[in-house]
Amino acid sequence: MSDREYVDFATVRDLLEQANERRGELSYEQLMALGHAQWAASENRGGTKTDSEVSRHSGMH
């Protein structure tokens, strides 16, 4: 079985936003993933906003 690294929605959001800034565009699939990650990391999902810095420092991977 391979080792897998799991990331939180805020990290996915941050990475896709950075890619969009660098390239100036995202594919359709990336745009859909970005929209989902933005929603999932926001307060609109369960009332608690996800912060990628918290996950990085807590050892969540």
* Predicted confidence (pLDDT) per residue in 2-51, tens digit: 688 888 899 999 999 999 999 999 999 999 999 999 998 887 766 666 66
* DSSP-derived 3-state class of residue 61: coil
pLDDT above 60 for 60 = no
pLDDT at 48: 61
| Single-letter amino acid, residue 27 | S
Q: What is the DSSP letter of 10?
A: H
Higher pLDDT residue, 2 or 61?
Answer: 2
- The reported pLDDT for the residue numbered 61 is 45
Instruction: Report the pLDDT value the prediction gives residue 14, as an integer from 0 to 100.
Output: 94
